[in-house]
Every structure is written in structure tokens, then in C-alpha cells.
Amino acid sequence: AQSVTQLDSHVSVSEGTPVLLRCNYSSSYSPSLFWYVQHPNKGLQLLLKYTSAATLVKGINGFEAEFKKSETSFHLTKPSAHMSDAAEYFCVVSATSGTYKYIFGTGTRLKVLA
Amino acid sequence: EPEVTQTPSHQVTQMGQEVILRCVPISNHLYFYWYRQILGQKVEFLVSFYNNEISEKSEIFDDQFSVERPDGSNFTLKIRSTKLEDSAMYFCASSQTGTNYGYTFGSGTRLTVV
């Protein structure tokens, strides 16, 4: 069965400094992995996705993630945080059969300090 | 860009009442999903729907819940005899192909049972 573990429930960074949100996955097969962002009282917005193409995936708003099979990781990074990045971030793995349901991580709340 | 539309955005209901949450998926999508997020917890899969029938459901999706596609555009989640623990954000999602390339979420309905 697939699962994801988000290693930090809260991350605080200063505006203009790099962001690193960590995610490890478990999957019997080559996984499809996603990062979603949820701003307060808003829906889930897709940041980026990995589906066995390039291991370095670029997403919206300057975010990117690198798929590392040897480390079973899919960490999300951004070179320079902006105040508007403050939100909850979810790492997601898709089931590899059936209806390809999503399995969500517990989320990381990113706080950006002025 | 096409959107998944959910109504209402907020709903308050008395315990024991029935509620219907509505979703309009993207028009050429064929696979439909409901997820829920209890406050402070991770997003959980409820059910997937394809070709006018449930294709997969979770343990959460018991006899209290039902889904329907009453016409060519709407996809509904009915909760009979609501309980306090049904209070959550409910997300609808749709996918064109049902594969692991990702799908589009709506902005959610916040259900509060009092």
C-alpha cells in the first residue's frame, strides 16, 4: 500500500530565504506524487506532480520538487519565500491501480516571517 | 481554466438532518471523487464514481453516505442523519482519464453539524 510521511508539521522561514518541506513516500510500484497547497479557507491547488518523467519537477509560483528513489523522498523547495506562500502544504501519492485515489500526508503548515 | 464548482461553500445543519453537497465537475471529465478533511486532520478519500456507479469507497463511506449523478452535470454527496463528527470540509474532484496524472479539486464545502 502507498503512503506518504511529511516530516514537519510546521515550518517557519523568513521572507526571502529558502523553503524546504520534506516528504517521504512508500510505494510498491513507481509512484505518482503530487504537492498541493491550501490557503486558509480555500480549496486544494496543485503545485506540481511527478509521474515518472523528469526527476526534477517544476511547479507554479517558483516551487520545485525532486524525486529521489534511493531516498524515497519528494521534498518541495523554493529558493526565496514570499509572504503569500504562507499556507498548508500536502504531499500526496496516488494509488497505482483501481481508481487511483489519493493518499494524503498530514500536511506542513508554512509560516513566512517578515 | 476549467474548474470544479462546489455549492454551497458553507452549510450549517442540525444533527440528525440530511444534507446534500453539490458539485459540478469539469464537463469532459468521467471520474468523480469525494474527499473530506476534518478540522486539523489530513484529507481522506471517501468515494470514487465512474460510469454511474461507485468504483471504490473507503471505510468511512458507510450507509449514511450516498452519491449520485442526477443529470449530465451535477455530482452530489448525500449524508443522511448527520452526526457531529460529520463536520468537515468536503472536497469534490474530477478527472478525465482516471489515471494517476492527477485531478482537479473544487474549493470545498464546509459542513458544520450543530
φ, ψ of residue A32 in degrees (nearest 5) = -105, 125
Q: Check whether B98 has a pLDDT greater than 70.
A: no
Tell if the CB–CB gap between B105 and A99 is shorter than 8 Å: no
Name the closest residue on chain B to residue A109, using Cα atoms. Answer: B40
The pLDDT value recorded for residue B63 is 94
Q: What values do phi and psi take at B10, rounded to 5?
A: -135, 140
pLDDT in tens, B20-44: 999 999 988 989 999 999 988 889 9
Cell of B114: 450543530
Our CA-based measurement puts residue B15 at a distance from the nearest CA of chain A, in whole angstroms, of 23
Residue in B1, B7, B43 to test binding to A, most A beta-carbons within 10 Å: B43
Q: Residue A69 — φ and ψ, nearest 5°?
A: -65, -40
Q: Is B102 on the interface with A (CB under 8 A)?
A: yes
Quick one: how many helices (H) and strands (E) in chain A?
0, 12
Nearest to B42 among A99, A100, A107 (CB): A107
Q: Do A100 and B91 touch (CB under 8 A)?
A: no
Contact A47, A92 (CB under 8 A): no
Residue A1's CB is within 10 A of a number of other CB atoms, namely: 9
Q: Any idea which of A52-66, A76-90, A96-110, B22-36 has the lowest mean pLDDT?
A: A96-110
Closest residue in B to A34 (Cα) is: B102
CA dist A93 → A33, B26, B41, B52 (Å): 5, 22, 17, 26
* Tens digits of residue pLDDT in A79-92: 999 999 999 999 99
**Which residues on A lie below 8 Å from B100 (Cβ)?**
32, 51, 94-96, 100
Considering CB atoms only, which of B55, B105, B106 is closest to A99?
A: B55
Residue-wise pLDDT for A16-40, tens only, equals: 999 999 999 998 777 889 999 999 8
Q: Which residues of A touch B (CB under 8 A)?
A: 32, 34, 36, 41-46, 49, 51, 90, 94-96, 98-107
* B110-B86-A26 Cα angle (round to 5): 90
Task: Please state, in angstroms and rounded to a whole number, the distance separating the CA atoms of residues A1 and B100.
Answer: 15
Mean pLDDT of A59-81: 96
For residue A106, pLDDT over 90 is answered with yes
Longest dimension (CA), chain B: 39
